[in-house]
Amino acid sequence: MIAAFDADDLRRHGFVGFIPASTVDLGQANIPAGSGVYVVVRGSAEPPKFLDRGGGGWWKGRDPTVTHQRLRAEWVDGAETLYIGKADALCSRIGLLIGFSRGKPIMHWGGRLLWQLEKCEGLLVAWKSEPYFAALESDLIDEFVDEFGRLPFANLKRGDRNVPRPPVMRETRSEDE
């Protein structure tokens, strides 16, 4: 279980990267091509300042900007992890997240609230490779809700519930027992 959901706890649980959003190179070789879970972490749990206009891209002509009232309602006091996402291709999905943050009209509508935070370019992106990525995302969101009583700030829905999970290893007993 990841108790506090800060960068140190995430590192202890196998997350790597922790690259500032502003410096993520969309073609980075160090972001795996395979499946996994990615997170967006803020280096502070202090309440942020919200921007009137977000920097996110307009997908299908829709403005990703929301009101300050909505942002305050979604904010999770004490949490440093702001978004938890899954990807069947981490490099590609993180590329969509970052491209959207830079105003490109591409699909990464989930997480759009991130780009209305002051100093959002300093948000850290980290990932963990995982073949059962949908199950891990769902479990992490459940753990976050258990810890904070609500979804992460920029997650606007829970993870998938009915997803493949790793096989359970059962102990076998010898007949001598």
What residues have CB less than 8 Å from 95, skipping those under 6 apart? 26
pTM over 0.75: yes
Residue 152 has what pLDDT? 97
Residue 141 has what pLDDT? 94
With contact defined as beta carbons under 8 Å apart, do 57 and 100 qualify?
Answer: yes
SS3 90: helix
Residue 3 has what pLDDT? 64
CA distance 148 to 142: 10
C-alpha closest to that of 86 among 28, 43, 151, 141: 141
CA distance 43 to 47: 11
Residue 176 has what pLDDT? 54
What string of H, E and C letters represents the secondary structure of 3-60?
CCCCHHHHHHCCCEEEEEHHHCCCCCCCCCCCCEEEEEECCCCCCCCECCCCCCCCEC
Backbone angles phi, psi at 97, to 5 degrees: -55, -50
In this structure, what token pair is assigned to residue 118?
């002051």
With contact defined as beta carbons under 8 Å apart, do 161 and 134 qualify?
Answer: no
Mean pLDDT by 10 residues, the chain (177 residues): 82 94 75 94 91 79 84 95 95 88 75 90 94 94 94 86 70 54
Residue 158 has what pLDDT? 78
Q: Which amino acid is at 168?
A: V
